[in-house]
Amino acid sequence: MIEIAVGDGIVLREPREDDADRLFALIDANRVLLGRWMPWLDYMRHDGDSLTYIRYSQEGNREGRFLNLLIWVDDEPAGVLCYFALEPAQRRSEIGYWLGQRWHGRGIMSRACQALIDYGFGHLNLYRIQIACAVDNLPSRALPERLGFTFEGVLHGREWVGERVLDHAIYALLLPAWRARRPA
Ligand SMILES: CC(C)(COP(=O)(O)OP(=O)(O)OC[C@H]1O[C@@H](n2cnc3c(N)ncnc32)[C@H](O)[C@@H]1OP(=O)(O)O)[C@@H](O)C(=O)NCCC(=O)NCCS
């Protein structure tokens, strides 16, 4: 069971089946916010759907295909942070994230992302970590910018969210740049 202590009451943890009800309640309470940017919301209509997601996450995490973690703040589920797909041969992955509205504006996601990045370079042997944000999603773009990622350009028409197709701003952080910023 992977568990990453971020500090200040923030913990990243693999989801468990008994998290399903609380995860669904969190998603349901943030449906409007998440529906603007996340393509999977239509698959999360009933509380059984969060259990399906958790079982899918457990299987993929176990097999090393991706890494889906719940963000806990003071023992409450607050959001999700993940490596979408792990490609060991290519040593690259992409981070995805969302956080319930009531936890916004406190630096929780920035610190959680930094911990996941450290875990990716330090324990998963990654060389390149990417973050892709809809070009108009400014709170999301602020994260890789705050964390020292390099803006590489825009991929057009990369993701459908309902009837809208989004252009993505692509950011990346490479292992040498991460190492250079680590305290000695
Ligand atoms: C993207 C998302 C996670 C960003 O949330 P956020 O609260 O802005 O991000 P953080 O938790 O890192 O908090 C940063 C804010 O806390 C402030 N902050 C306070 N203490 C801080 C600290 N120690 N470190 C960093 N920031 C801190 C920052 O100044 C910033 O505030 P600002 O927006 O007023 O400048 C959130 O908007 C979200 O979940 N959106 C919906 C889903 C989504 O869009 N996901 C991304 C799809 S690509």
Neighbour count for residue 167 (Cβ, 10 Å): 15
98 lines ligand 1 (CB under 6 A): yes
Mean pLDDT of 64-76: 97
pLDDT at 1: 87
* C-alpha of residue 106 to centroid of ligand 1, in Å: 7
Q: In this structure, are residues 176 and 170 in contact, taking their beta carbons and an 8 Å threshold?
A: no
Q: Which protein residue's CA is at the shortest distance from atom 45 of ligand 1?
A: 98
Q: CA separation (Å) from 109 to 67, 75, 82, 124, 159? A: 16, 16, 12, 20, 22
Average pLDDT score, the chain: 96
pLDDT at 78: 98
Q: In this structure, are residues 8 and 111 in contact, taking their beta carbons and an 8 Å threshold?
A: yes
User: pLDDT for 91-134, tens place per residue?
Assistant: 999 999 999 999 999 999 999 999 999 999 999 999 999 999 99
139 lines ligand 1 (CB under 6 A): yes
pLDDT at 182: 83
Second-level CATH architecture of 3-181: 3-Layer(aba) Sandwich (3.40)
Angle at 110 between CA 143 and CA 24, to 5 degrees: 100
155 lines ligand 1 (CB under 6 A): no
Three-class secondary structure of residue 157 per DSSP: strand
- Select from 27, 82, 110, 154 the residue to mutate for testing ligand 1; criterion: most ligand atoms less than 8 Å from CB: 110
Q: Is the pLDDT of residue 184 over 80?
A: no
Mean pLDDT of 35-54: 94
* C-alpha of residue 63 to centroid of ligand 1, in Å: 31
Identify the residue with better confidence: 47 or 119. 119
pLDDT at 53: 97
Q: What pTM was computed for the model?
A: 0.97
Domain boundaries along the sequence of the chain = 3-181
* C-alpha of residue 152 to centroid of ligand 1, in Å: 21
User: pLDDT for 145-159, tens place per residue?
Assistant: 999 999 999 999 999
Mean pLDDT of 156-173: 97
Q: Is the pLDDT of residue 183 over 80?
A: no
114 lines ligand 1 (CB under 6 A): no
Confidence of residue 47 (pLDDT cuts 50, 70, 90): confident
User: pLDDT for 11-31, tens place per residue?
Assistant: 999 999 999 999 999 999 999
Mean pLDDT of 79-91: 96
- Select from 101, 109, 137 the residue to mutate for testing ligand 1; criterion: most ligand atoms less than 8 Å from CB: 109
